Amino acid sequence: MCAGLYPAPKHIIPLVGQREGARQVMQILAKLSEMQDAEQFDVREFVAQGDKVIALGHYRWRIKSNGQFYESDWAHAFGIRDGKISSSQEYVDTYAWAGAYHRFEPMLASRTRN
């Protein structure tokens, strides 16, 4: 299984990056559990066509190191081969996620007014 997870800089969100194989996927899921608590995880819809499955939902996570939280709608895209997941990609609001790790304000709120 290859899991291409979260296109964002690792120095901002430590869990991002590409994972190859079941071992690396299990390692990142364990790291996720160490660093964040899931407060909500709702799957709202599945869409399947051929060898692709898309899951749509919403979640809310709390960062253990600082108590901040983020929430986002998400989409998980899975490739299926021989009845097993062969690839996955998650699409999520990485700006909200990074903000929870680094406690920055949204860009619009930080702009100075003329």
- Number of separate domains in the chain: 1
Query: What is the reported pLDDT for 61?
Result: 95
Report the CATH number at residue 83: 3.10.450.50
How far CA 63 is from CA of 17, 29, 53, 81, in Å, comes to: 18, 15, 29, 34
Q: Tell me whether residue 14 is in a domain.
A: yes
Q: pTM here?
A: 0.76
Q: Tell me whether residue 108 is in a domain.
A: no
DSSP letter, residue 9: -
> Which residue range is the domain that position 41 belongs to?
2-102
Q: Tell me whether residue 6 is in a domain.
A: yes
Q: Tell me whether residue 9 is in a domain.
A: yes
**pLDDT digit string (tens) for the chain, length 114 residues:** 444 555 666 777 777 777 788 888 888 889 889 999 999 999 999 999 999 999 999 999 999 999 999 999 999 999 999 999 888 888 888 888 888 888 755 444 444 444
Dihedral in degrees, nearest 10, Cα atoms 10, 80, 61, 15: -20
